[in-house]
Amino acid sequence: MAGSFFSVYRLATALILLCVLQSTALEARDLRLATTTSTDNSGLLRAILPPFERQQGIKVHVISVGTGKALKLAENGDVDVVLVHDRQAEEAFVAAGHGSERHDVMYNDFVLVGPKSDPAGVRGGGDVLAALRQIAATQARFVSRGDDSGTERMERSYWRELAIAAQGKPWYVAAGLGMGEVLTMAGEMHAYTLSDRATYATYQARTGLEILVQGDPRMFNPYGIMAVSRSKYPDINFSGALALIDWLTSASGRAAISAFRPNGEQLFFVTPAGKK
């Protein structure tokens, strides 16, 4: 009788211990982050994520793709959290119930870059639309991301505003590649392209491209972060996603972003606290 009692007791104890271990493993499981190529190509995430990983005891797996693909991964529940740069699409993502509230993290800007020879003669301008109009008029070579990224979406909005159908033209190349690869291609082809400033700075030396147009308010580039909807996908690492959001928007996260200055140049600027 006593042996039977102790057998049941040991079994119950083992089951409780197993549940505790499973719960602990679930809480500490890895986090899947879908993000735009600029945060990865620039080296930002490699610089700022280790302190968060040590603090939380988890590993962040970064999936670096264009913004459109990152949002699709999040919409399908294939990642836990998404950090991208297309505010209109991000707000639509939340409104459709795919994710939690959007949080501003940081910003930088887009720049129009091209060869030193500047065949379209746009150097020194501050109007991106005027520059693209001139590129189209002179049929100077232009390389587009062509990958539904936040950068390409912004570029497409410029062509729409100009009422210029650039796609399909012999001077316009849709690469279907990430920003770093497009910058490399543009350098080899002596072509123009639109880039986020951070990735351009990382690839500048190897491409020979120069910033020719900058400072247009239309080229403002904000980044937002959202956790994937727990109600839609109960199995996602929602607690880990919230922890990353809290850290990136905390004093520690903001300091880490601000301190990222390769070659002494600040490439990302934190959004002022409380500003949306």
- Do 127 and 205 have their domain in common? yes
CA distances to 10, 50, 110, 117, 157 from 130, rounded to whole Å, are: 77, 42, 15, 18, 14
Mean pLDDT across the chain, nearest whole number? 90
Give 79-100 pLDDT, tens digit per residue: 999 999 999 999 999 999 999 9
Domain boundary among 219, 237, 258: 219
Same domain, 102 and 230: yes
Residue 1 domain flag: no
Cα–Cα dist 208/183, whole Å: 10
CATH number for 230: 3.40.190.10
Token pair recorded at residue 125: 């301008």
Q: Are residues 192 and 265 in the same domain?
A: no
Task: State residue 101 phi and psi, 5-degree precision.
Answer: -55, 140
Clarify whether residues 195 and 184 are in a common domain: yes
Predicted pLDDT of residue 273: 62
Q: Residue 209, Cα to own-chain centre: how many angstroms? A: 23
Domain that holds residue 179: 108-219
Which residue, of 219, 234, 249, is where some domain finishes?
219
Do 12 and 94 fall into the same domain?
Answer: yes
- Total domains present in the chain: 2
Residues 220 and 241: their CA atoms lie apart, in Å, by 26
Per DSSP, the residues of 94-147 read HHTTSBS--EEEEEEEEEEEE-TT-TT--TTBS-HHHHHHHHHHHT--EEE--S
Q: 101 and 227: one domain?
A: yes
Q: What is the pTM of this model?
A: 0.83
Based on the domain organization, do 197 and 99 belong to the same domain?
Answer: no
The string of pLDDT tens digits covering residues 154-207 is: 999 999 999 999 999 999 999 999 999 999 999 999 999 999 999 999 999 999
- Does 130 lie in the same domain as 89? no
116 in the same domain as 210: yes
Asked if residue 96 and residue 56 are part of one domain, the reply reads yes
Same domain for 98 and 233, yes or no, is yes
The alpha-carbon radius of gyration of the chain (Å, integer) is 23
